[in-house]
Amino acid sequence: MRALRKTKNCLNCGTPLDEVYNYCPICGQQNDDKNVSFKELGRDLFENFFSFDSRLAHTFFPFFFKPGELTRKYNEGKRFTYANPIRLYIIVSFFYFFILNIMMGDLTRELSQALDTPEADSVKTAIQNEVQFNLDSMKNAPPIMVKMDSDSISEGDENSWPLKNWQWELLYDKLNDNSISEQALYDSLKIEDRSALTKLTIKQIIRIYKRDKETLVSEIVQNLSVMMFILIPVFALLLKLMYIRRKTLYVNHLIHTIHLHTFAFFVYGVAMGLIHWAVESDNVHSWIMFTTLFVVFIYSFLSFKRVYNQSWKKTALKYWITSWLYFYILVFAIIIELLVSLLIF
């Protein structure tokens, strides 16, 4: 922690202060000059937030090489010696999602450039011709007799959600025309009588197609970081249920969860950085991905064993159940996060 920048007079009440005073004896305000340069302010924020001191040095070895030891020490009350788990998680998750955002942005840019090539244009033209041929075939095909109420379908309502056939054709033809605004394209579809959900869906389809894809990917990654932070208490709840007979406090499971996610984010972040910038071979990429998943798997299992101190058999069973439950929850959460990101973009 930085030393106080002491002043000769209290900035609040003006009382003369000696060098030994850390606080004003009259009003109690801290004797510290906050009027500093941007460089000094940035250095203070960096030092206070990251706290690269002896606690981080003590944290390094048990965190990386003794799975679960840091959680056990913290839950035993030995907390001042080691870095705060929440602060450690914030630092590492910032690193992980920063790398992920850059990686996904670069991939999106490369894909957009690939789609702008003449070869890609010929493919898109072929697809468009095939779609048009199928639509024409559907129009010229003999009608299929289906028994239904006369009020349930109207003329020209072949594809009732979210658009009719002619509306899909119009949308497909005009999406690439940059001279047509999003609102003008939306108005041309004439869907005033459709439901609110249909209108919202069509607006988002137009908006997503027309706007910058890198911005969309960046927002998805940002929302993903929020989603993972929300899932941490969920994983801790799974641990509470798995070890409910041990009477362990929920907050202790929460600390264990934070440490596990922090380690996983660090390893995944390093692996993505190597894949994206340092290694070009696809075979090496596959090896790095497999090794990363294996390291996180073994680390988490050993952490379960050390923190809860049960037999290998019980630990393996509970770890297997917890992992699969969390996997399904994670997949469901990612789907919801993607849908929400697309709706609010």
pLDDT digits (tens, 9 = 90+) for 32-69: 765 655 566 566 556 655 555 567 788 899 999 999 99
Residue 185: pLDDT band with limits 50, 70, 90: confident
* Cβ atoms within 10 Å, residue 161: 11
The pair of three-digit structure tokens given for residue 60, joined into one six-digit string:
């390094």
Residue 148: pLDDT band with limits 50, 70, 90: very low
- pLDDT for the residue numbered 40: 60
Average pLDDT of the segment spanning 219-233: 94
Average pLDDT of the segment spanning 265-271: 96
Considering the chain, what is the average pLDDT of its residues?
Answer: 81
Q: How many domains does the chain have?
A: 1
Lowest mean pLDDT among 61-65, 164-168, 250-254, 265-269: 164-168
| pLDDT at 212 exceeding the cut of 90 | no
Q: Is residue 51 part of a domain?
A: no
- pLDDT for the residue numbered 320: 97
CB 165, CB 138: distance < 8 Å: yes
Spatial distance between the Cα atoms of 328 and 317, rounded to a whole number of angstroms: 17
CA angle 132, 135, 136 (to 5 degrees): 85
Q: Is residue 275 part of a domain?
A: yes
Domain that holds residue 248: 62-108+214-344
Average pLDDT of the segment spanning 153-172: 64
- pLDDT for the residue numbered 152: 39
Q: Is residue 133 part of a domain?
A: no
Q: Is residue 196 part of a domain?
A: no
Spatial distance between the Cα atoms of 231 and 239, rounded to a whole number of angstroms: 13
Residue with tokens 């109207």: 154
β-strand partners of 16:
9
| pLDDT at 156 exceeding the cut of 70 | no
Residue with tokens 């609010």: 344
% of the chain exceeding 70 in pLDDT: 78
